[in-house]
Amino acid sequence: MGPCTARLHLRNLLFAATLPLTIAAIGQTTPQHTPQNGPRADIFTPATIKRADALLKQMTTDEKLGQLNQLFVFDPSASIDDFVRKGQVGSLLFVTDPASINRFQHLAVDNSRLHIPLIFGFDVIHGFRTIFPIPLAMASSWDPETVERAQTIAAAEARSVGIDWAFAPMLDIARDPRWGRIMEGAGEDPYLGAAIARAQVRGFQGPAIGTPDHLLACMKHFAGYGAAEGGRDYDASYISDAQLHNVYLPPFHAAVEAGVGSVMSAYMDLNDIPATGNHWLQTEVLRDDWGFQGFVVSDANAVKSLENHGFAKDPADAALRAFNAGVNMEMAIDKTAYSTLPDAYKQGRITLKQIDAAVKPILEAKIQLGLFENPYVDLPHSQQVLNDPAHRVEALRAAEHSAVLRRNENNLLPLAKSTYKSIAVIGPLANGKHDTIGSWAFQEDPNEAVTVLEGLHAKLDATTKIDYAPGVQIKRFFPSFFDEIFHEPKRIDWTPEQAKAEFDKAVDLARSSDLTILTLGETQDMSGEAASRSSLALPGEQEKLLETIASLNKPVVLVLLNGRPLDITWASEHIPAILEAWYPGTQGGTAIANLLTGDAVPGGKLPLSWPRNVGQIPINYTHNLTQDASKQGERYWNEPSTPLYPFGYGLSYSAFSFSNLKVTEPENKVGQPVHVSVDVENTGSIPADEVAQLYIHQQYGSASRPVRELKGFRRITLAPHAKTTVDFTLTPADLSYWNAGSRSWVQDASTFDLWAGDSSAATLHTTFNRAR
């Protein structure tokens, strides 16, 4: 599981996250309500609410408190049957076998007085049986519809085996690629992150909670987990109020507006207050300001960890602090801290009203999901869903959609299928099933996964001789505790003599081949939870292998499989073609083969700024201007202080031009929308996708604002020489920001710069003015 939120107690330290939007002149602080922060539709129907109220009246206090406990079950034969029979647990997780789910469900329904079913949760992150590209890759598609389709399939597959609740999406903004869990999110930008958040919630839950073949979504980790100090997983986050409101909270707010049914709290300290004990965050912001109506579950053992933080005295104190902060359900690997709540109630330390408020949304979720009527798995239906070939087709499309072409000197790509008679496929990741799938996939069928080598064989065997050599071995310094869960085959390490022989074999193979496809990056256990790094260098001797093969002066294509930016500065200057495939999922090898040969055209864009090396971190594009703006890119004397590749960057096999950037209302008033249009033309000779991106900069106002902020995007497909007009609307919310001086949301009267283009480095520019 992944860490979750912190407890922000002092309102004067971490300020009102989403107070009603303020339409303010410079210095004005009087809040005014606007529609986007008004009441939103109930996520539970009146019938569900009425039924939950009636059920609550029939429940004893012990029955209510039992619903607040969730236990891991790694072994379905584990002796937790008595807990289930006695109603001392409301949810189980990591049970994925339909027969085991039915057995536990019968224990709960047949033995409990009120026949209350369990809700089964699981980490459905980027697929269940069919594995899609990792979330960071899906964000690289810049296509919310693709994201929604993928999570719809993931939901259908998981629900078919009895999983009712997905511990996703992860909405943590991450600006430090050393942090291992950057692979689970949408990158560095709150606007893109919010769009992807809405798409994931829609995909998991459908139009409403309870939609057939869908499940309950859980946004995590609320909030600030992605800002861990030094990129070290689980370490504290220290975030200013302006950053919290303008950067880290927007994707979560977007998910709430989309109707997400549950929230997972985070592990780490947030400004010295552990997130799982944070009343301000979980109650004042989430429930009071945002109107969230679902329930909060802790991350794994996060309640007990309040004692580890030095925040709680003991498990009983930890339970009280989390419960009073707003954690409805405790996720625990063994006995829960919430098992002490019955004593706390008897001692008068918590009230029946609090208990009812905690358990009610859990009951509402179970009711609306239909668990009372249909608690058991339909096995024939499950097999039909899991074996649906359309799911693999969509996984292939998503992998093709998510790849980012970094470099393509002299149009080396796409490869002409008949040009190269012999191809060397080299690299430690070229034929690894799990390394293609990526981390945070637990129920995949590895036999379905297509590796890079397999994809190329299937594509080119009729015309080309393909040989493979790994060249080097790579592994973590500290092993991952997930290795057992992923069932990684035990690897036999090479001796120094074997390592030299394998390295030389790979170089000789490249020397004797017409073309080399180098597949480098990180093994799947090098990204994800507990997978932070102090370096972004290619692990092991991959850089040596890369540079040695490049020195042969043969054509080389670099394919990257990874879950974070890596230091490829040397490659960016010496390797003619670079394709970022991320961890592309079940159909990854087929997608990569299609992309390399031109049967698919790359159209993905980077969801983060790609640093030259680890010393540049953080290097997000939304930095502020400084006292000498002309020297903005010269903050280091030894190298440019600009990214290797900017946010939003990605090449195509075609070419596009942007023109005719127009603002319908170049002179407008604060509080009004602004309509913008730009023409996009495919000036190349093949049909291809482009992502039109819109950026703003507020030139002056009541606070310094970032040099650029994404405020609109759209992925479009254009035939050769076709042109289209893309329209954007900047809403009042898009032109608002949290002001640390007034401690409120404001809109300033100002002049705004506007850019449109294919990345955050777009040059097509105009301005508009906003007055009172």
Domains parsed from the chain with CATH numbers: 63-124+163-368 (3.20.20.300), 392-613 (3.40.50.1700), 656-771 (2.60.40.10)
pLDDT band at residue 10 under the 50/70/90 scheme = very low
Q: What is the pLDDT of residues 155-179, one digit of tens each?
A: 999 999 999 999 999 999 999 999 9
Burial (Cβ within 10 Å: 0-12, 13-18, ≥19) of residue 325: buried
For 650-678, b/e burial (b = at least 16 CB within 10 A) is bbbbbebebeebebeeeebebeeebebeb
pLDDT given at position 489: 66
Mean pLDDT of 332-339: 92
Q: Is the pLDDT of residue 18 over 70?
A: no
Q: Assess whether pLDDT exceeds 80 at residue 23.
A: no
299 is catalytic: yes
Beta carbons within 8 Å of 228's beta carbon, 6+ residues apart: 176, 179, 234, 235, 236, 237, 268, 532
pLDDT at 464 over 70: yes
Q: Which pLDDT band holds residue 19 (cuts at 50, 70, 90)?
A: very low
Q: Kindly tell me if the per-residue pLDDT of 54 is higher than 60.
A: yes
- C-alpha to C-alpha distance for 120 and 553, rounded to whole angstroms: 56
Task: Quote the pLDDT of residue 501.
Answer: 98
Say how many C-beta atoms besides its own lie within 10 A of residue 352's C-beta.
10
Per DSSP bridges, beta strands 577-580 and 330-332 are: unpaired
pLDDT at 38: 41
* pLDDT beyond 60 at 551: yes
- For residue 191, pLDDT beyond 60: yes
Name the residue among 260, 557, 249, 525 with its Cα closest to residue 403: 557
Least confident of 185-199, 256-270, 558-572, 622-636: 622-636
Residues sharing a CB contact under 8 Å with residue 57, sequence separation 6 or more, in sequence order: none
Query: Would you place residue 450 in the very low, low, confident or very high pLDDT band (cuts 50, 70, 90)?
Result: very high
Look up residue 173 and give its two tokens: 């903004």
Q: Which residue of the set 143, 172, 189, 299 is catalytic?
A: 299
With 60 as the cut, is the pLDDT of residue 506 above it? yes
Round to whole Å and give the CA distance between 94 and 332. 12
- Each residue's pLDDT tens digit, 104-117: 999 999 999 999 99
Residues 418, 257: Cα–Cα separation, whole Å: 52
Sorted by sequence, the CB contacts under 8 Å of residue 564 that are 6+ apart come out as 136, 177, 178, 179, 180, 182, 183, 522, 527, 533, 536
Q: If pLDDT is split at 50, 70 and 90, which confidence band does 381 have?
A: very high
Q: Would you place residue 21 in the very low, low, confident or very high pLDDT band (cuts 50, 70, 90)?
A: very low
Q: Is the separation of the CB atoms in 184 and 136 below 8 Å?
A: yes
pLDDT digits (tens, 9 = 90+) for 574-632: 999 999 999 999 999 999 999 999 999 999 999 999 999 999 999 999 999 887 777 77
Tally DSSP H helices, then E strands, for the chain: 23, 26
- Indicate whether 481 pLDDT > 90: no
pLDDT at 47 over 60: yes
| Range in 11-25, 133-147, 258-272 with the lowest mean pLDDT | 11-25
Which of helix, strand or coil describes residue 723? strand
255 pLDDT band, cuts 50/70/90, is very high
Whether omega for the bond prior to residue 221 falls within 30 degrees of 0, making it cis, is yes
Residues 352 and 361: their CA atoms lie apart, in Å, by: 15
3-state secondary structure of 678: strand
Q: Residue 20: what pLDDT? A: 27
164 and 156 Cβ atoms separated by less than 8 Å? no
Cite the beta strand spans of 442-498 per DSSP E: 465-469
Alpha carbons 142 and 277: distance in angstroms, whole number: 35
Per-residue pLDDT tens for 82-104?
999 999 999 999 999 999 999 99
* pLDDT, average across residues 125-134: 98
Q: Which of 1, 2, 530, 3 is nearest to 267 (CA)?
A: 3
Cα–Cα distance, 224 to 533 (Å, whole number): 19
Using DSSP, state whether 166 is helix, strand or coil.
Answer: strand
Of 682 and 75, more confident: 682
Residue 461 has a pLDDT of 86
- Going by pLDDT thresholds of 50, 70 and 90, the confidence category of residue 444 is confident
Q: Tell me the mean pLDDT in the region 237-245.
A: 97
The pLDDT mean for the chain works out to 92
Q: Would you say residue 15 has pLDDT above 60? A: no
Neighbour tally for 77: CB within 10 Å: 9
Largest Cα–Cα distance of the chain, in whole Å? Answer: 80
> For residue 488, what pLDDT band results from cuts at 50, 70 and 90?
low
